[in-house]
């Protein structure tokens, strides 16, 4: 393949969206990040149809994003689920910037370490530089087919 064609051969974005790209799945994750654990709390907070909630929770548990903990069923984020926090925060910040009403964002995230309202960025783990479309070059990785 030439150019950027390899993007489509082993598409991690597509695989991730297959799992969490549906509206209800992302909203369940958002609620999980903010401490919701019980089925009834998800149903109440999201006003989600119960059959849809059951199906989405099962999918997230089967995929290893949430664990179901008994005897009183609770849904707890796994390490893989907690790693999705950055993606959800990035979507939230984008929505705050481009879709919020004139009164501003509905939720602010205050950083416990410094006390300021968090402004998350995607940064390189090696140099700390911000990652943006004009600062990366896509190339085939080890999973390239």
DSSP state of 6: G
Q: How many CB atoms lie within 10 A of CB 85?
A: 15
Three-state SS letters, the chain: CCCCHHHHCCCHHHHHHHHHCCHHHHHHHHHHHCCCCCHHHHHHHHCCCHHHHHHHHHHHHHCCCEEEECCCCEEEECHHHHCCHHHHHHHHHHHHHHCCCCCCCCCCCECCCCCCECCCCCECCCCCCECCHHHCCCCCCCCCC
> What's the residue count for the chain?
145
Residue pLDDT tens, the chain, 145 long: 455 555 555 588 888 999 999 999 999 999 999 999 999 999 999 999 999 999 999 999 999 999 999 999 999 999 999 999 999 999 999 999 999 999 999 999 999 999 999 998 999 999 999 999 999 998 888 887 7
- The model's pTM is 0.86
- Give pLDDT, residue 5: 57
């Amino acid at each position: 393949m030439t150019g950027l064609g390899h993007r489509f051969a082993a598409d991690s974005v597509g695989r991730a969206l297959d799992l969490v790209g549906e509206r209800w799945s992302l909203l369940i994750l958002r609620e999980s990040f903010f401490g919701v654990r019980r089925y009834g709390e998800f149903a109440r907070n999201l006003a989600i149809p119960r059959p849809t909630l059951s199906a989405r929770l099962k999918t997230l548990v089967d995929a290893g994003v949430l664990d179901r903990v008994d005897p009183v069923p609770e849904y707890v984020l796994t390490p893989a689920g907690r790693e999705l926090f950055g993606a959800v925060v990035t979507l939230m910040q984008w929505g705050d910037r481009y879709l919020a009403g004139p009164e501003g964002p509905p939720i602010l995230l205050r950083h416990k370490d410094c006390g300021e309202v968090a402004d998350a960025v995607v940064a390189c783990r090696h140099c700390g530089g911000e990652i943006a479309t004009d600062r990366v070059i896509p190339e085939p990785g080890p999973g390239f087919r």
